[in-house]
Amino acid sequence: MKKRTFLKISATFGAGVVVAPSLVSCNEEASNDTDATGEAAAATLLSFELPKLPYPYDALVAAVDEETMTIHHQKHHQGYVNKLNKAIQETKTEASSLEDLLAKTDLPEAIRNNGGGHFNHSLFWEILAPEPVQPSKTMDGLLSKDFGSVEGFKKSFTEAAGGVFGSGWAWLCLGDDEQLFITTTPNQDNPLMSVAEKQGKPLMGIDVWEHAYYLRYQNERGQYLQKILERINWEAVENNLG
């Protein structure tokens, strides 16, 4: 069921690469180190590419204008990808996946900022939709169990996101205890990182950096949050439960 929906999204927009949480799609460059058998070691120096948006730049115009989407994807996100690749090469930081990389302790600053930037934006594009996709019965049940109702979730999420001081992200995550929780992170940190106040599996992340909304909403972050929460692809969020 989930797979079929994914394929449909891909076909509709012809985007080629569907921005899955496996946006984690990357090119592995075998490290120079080889083990005793002469085979490449498992850990590698990864390199990443900017994922295509799963919809056109003007598709979210009900919430986010075309210019903001274009700059955000082509300039900001591309910048994180470029700097991440450079930082991986310079620091020779090996990992088996983007998640594996971000979960490392003592992350080099440039990888923390730009690896976070790449993961966060890839997830962000994926969980938005030109036409909102409502929560399934399952997702509705999970949100209702932990937040009272879908509306209760949105209210709590909006409060959390509105309370981020300066630049950062608001998250819906799945914890080790199988409970959903809302958390926020500063800058490009995310709940995969050891520095996060609360670690968990990110299901949905909303960018509250001013670059995500300033052209249309200026300082009115609350208005941006209200509009963008009307453009959530709840099926994509549910898929991230894994």
Q: Residues in the site for Mn ion, rule: CB under 5 A? A: 207, 209
Which residues, in sequence order, are CB contacts of 188 under 8 Å at separation 6+? 80, 112, 113, 114, 116, 117, 120, 169
- 173 has which bridge partners? 181, 202
The smaller minimum CB distance to Mn ion, of residues 171 and 209, is found at 209
Query: Nearest to residue 134, comparing CAs of 230, 227, 62, 239?
Result: 230
Toward Mn ion, which CB reaches closer, 57 or 209?
A: 209
Q: How far is the CB of 209 from Mn ion (least distance, A)?
A: 5
Q: Give whichever of 5 and 223 is closer to Mn ion, judged by the CB atom.
A: 223
Contact 190, 102 (CB under 8 A): yes
Q: Minimum Å distance from CB 222 to Mn ion?
A: 18
Q: Which is nearer to Mn ion, 126 or 207 (CB)?
A: 207
User: Starting from the edge strand earliest in sequence, which strands make up the sheet with 201-207, in order?
Assistant: 180-186, 168-174, 201-207
CB of 216 to Mn ion, least distance (A): 15
State how far the Cα of 24 lies from the Cα of 15, in Å rounded to an integer. 16
Smallest separation, CB 84 to Mn ion (Å): 14
CB of 14 to Mn ion, least distance (A): 25
Token pair for 142: 């999970």
- What one-character DSSP code corresponds to residue 219? T
CB of 59 closer than 8 Å to CB of 77: no
Residue 153 DSSP code: H
Q: Please identify the residue of the shown chain whose CB is closest to the bound Mn ion.
A: 207
Nearer to Mn ion, 15 or 71 (CB): 71
